[in-house]
Structure formats: C-alpha cells, structure tokens
Amino acid sequence: MEFTLGRQQTALLEVEPSMLPIDARDLNEICEQTESLWKELRGQRIFITGGTGFFGCWLLESFAAANRRFGLNLSVTVLSRSPEAFRQRCPHLAENPAIRLVHGDILKPYTFPDGEFPYVIHAAADYQGTDDVRRIVSSISEGTMNTLEFAASHGTRKFLMVSTGAVYGEQPPLLDQIPEDYLPGAEPRLTRSVYGEAKRAAENLCGVYATNSFECKIARCFAFVGPHLPMDGKYAIGNFIQSALKSQPIRISGDGTPLRSYLYGTDLVAWLLTVLLKAPSLRPFNIGSDQPISIRDLAAEVKDSLGSNVEVEIMGTPKPWTPPAQYVPSVQRAYDELGLKQTVTLRAGIQRTAEWHGRNKNSE
C-alpha cells in the first residue's frame, strides 16, 4: 500500500488532496469519554485560532460529532489565513453548518470576528517554516496578546492557552518525566529555546488577563500521533509511518537514542476539553503520554505494528557515556486532579493513523 502527500503550488493557493473524516470509531470514543462535559457547551459559541492544523482538525471533527450525537446547537468560528485551502483539504468540515471559517490573522486583530464568544481556544503559533527567531517571538507573543484582548472584550468566560512542553527547556538526564512545577531559568545563548521561552511568556500573559469571570486554562502539549499529523515534515513518527506505507526504508538521521512519548488524537481531544472546562485557572497541565520510547524503538514499533518488512537505517552512532535526550512529561497531575488517562496504546495509535492515511490514498 502506498501513500503520498501530494502538494502543488498555485499563484494564490496551496492545493492539497481532500482528507476523509476521522474514523467514526475515534469520534465515538471521544464522545463517550467526554459526554459529561458537553452539557456546558450546549448552545454556546467557540472561537478557535490555529483551528486548521493537527489540533484544530481533531477539535473540529469532535465538535461536529458531538453536535450530531447530543444535539448541542454548538457553533464554532475558526480564524484562518487560508480558508479556501482548508476548504479544499477538509470540505466535510468547512461545509458543516456549525463551523464558520473567518479569513484573518492573529497578528491582525481587526480581522477577528464580532460577537460574544464564551469559550476561546488559542492554538495558533505561526512559526512553521521559518528560522527567523524574531518572527517566532512576535507571532507567539503578539498573537497571544491579541487573542487575549479579543477574549477580554467579547464575553469570554474560559480561555484555553495551548502551550507546549518546550517551556521546560532541555530535560535533565536524571529527570525521567517533567512535572509541571519544573521551570528552569532561560538560557539566552540557545536560540533553539526561543520557541519555548516565547510560549512561557505567553502563559504569563494569561496571568495578566485572568480574572474571577475570565478564566485562563493552560495545556502544555508534548508529542502526538493520529490522522491529520503531517507525514512528510519534522515529526519522526509521521515520517516513519509514511516510509512503512510506501515500503521504503525507515531512516533515522541521528543515533536513535532520544526518548519521546506519544498520545493519540482521541485522548488529546478529551484532555484538552477537560482542561478547558474543568481545570483551575492558571494551573498548567501536561498533555501527553508518560510512556517513553526511544526513536530507534519507535521505528521498530512502527514497522512491527504495520506488519512491514522495511529496513530501519540509523545514520548516527551513540556517543559513549552520553545520556539520551528526553522529552517525556509527567501526567500525574492530570491523572490525580482531572481524572484523565491514556486510553489508546501507541501501537493502536500507529495502526489507526496508518489506516486513515491508507483510506485517503485509496479515495483519490
């Protein structure tokens, strides 16, 4: 079975193949896990930035499914710089009557919609495809400020800041899992830390705006797998799945020792919704899996999960006495305080992701 993400540039629009909906099994699982939460959103309006990427597609699919299942009369407004590109890629979402696409930019607040939005999800961070650290910082800081200003003046009660585990900087070798109260000092000499530091500053902005009537929730997100994850970009697990589907060798550019962990999209949505609706204001929660796996073992897991016989090629050589880099969260706070748990195993997540991409290839 072969899968290719085709991309063709036009003068005004990046055209991508239309994507099929997420499998009904996944959406049913989300609705079952979150059934008690939806009553708060009945008849409400939600505003989302970053609503057309991996996180956004999962959220929109889930909102549409819950609307159908529970008769919520919920409406979602999505700010997008390229509504037509999203309409091309996800017509089933763009044409859903409960979803409204607004052409706009988080750096241009005058493009934001009118009306009251009791719930705002800020998931945008326009830094993809650039190494310009100044643009990264301005996009995150100004974009967050603009969205908070919008929320403060448009009747928002609950605001979800989709942050990142990068706020913790490099994970110390002796720390197996990063807890929410671990916040090291910034290292200004490391430009690679700019993204995490900008997100940490954006979290601080939430503290400036939060009031008794305007709650700011903080979700620090790690690594994920599932439909809509880019298969030809910077995400190792996406690249590995695509290589296996195309019967090509799985190549690891490094030595394969770094440790990561992955949460499937159904759990991602359930955790984000729970943080938005149930978490205390300004108390951050890690969103991810606490089950580590090395990049080398991840490649083997993808190969085995998909029944593939492709070769795994590791280009680098481990350095003696050098501990592996880690990026693994502690999610004990989410378990203890919000009752959350991981329900989909990594193997099942890999298989479901591959099946969805396979269906999309077969539908072309």
pTM comes to 0.93
How many whole angstroms separate alpha carbon 300 and alpha carbon 310? 10
Q: Could you give the C-alpha distances from 316 to 230, 296, 310, in angstroms and in order?
A: 24, 11, 19
Supply the pLDDT for residue 193: 79
Q: Smallest Cα–Cα separation from 265: which of 204, 350, 339? A: 350
Q: How far is it between the farthest Cα atoms of the chain?
A: 60
Q: Smallest Cα–Cα separation from 334: which of 269, 288, 281, 291? A: 288
Supply the pLDDT for residue 203: 96
Domain at 21-363: CATH architecture: 3-Layer(aba) Sandwich (3.40)
How many whole angstroms separate alpha carbon 45 and alpha carbon 98? 10
> Could you tell me whether strands 8-9 and 14-15 are parallel, antiparallel, or unpaired per DSSP bridges?
antiparallel
How many whole angstroms separate alpha carbon 222 and alpha carbon 112? 28
Domain-by-domain residue ranges, the chain?
A: 21-363
**Helix H or strand E encompassing 334:** helix 332-338
The segments of the chain whose pLDDT lies below 70 read 1-16, 125-131, 185-191, 363-364
Q: Which position has the token pair 């009945």?
A: 42
How many whole angstroms separate alpha carbon 141 and alpha carbon 175? 29
Supply the pLDDT for residue 7: 32
Phi-psi region of 174 (alpha: psi -120 to 50; beta: other; left: phi over 0): alpha
Cα-only R_g, the chain: 20
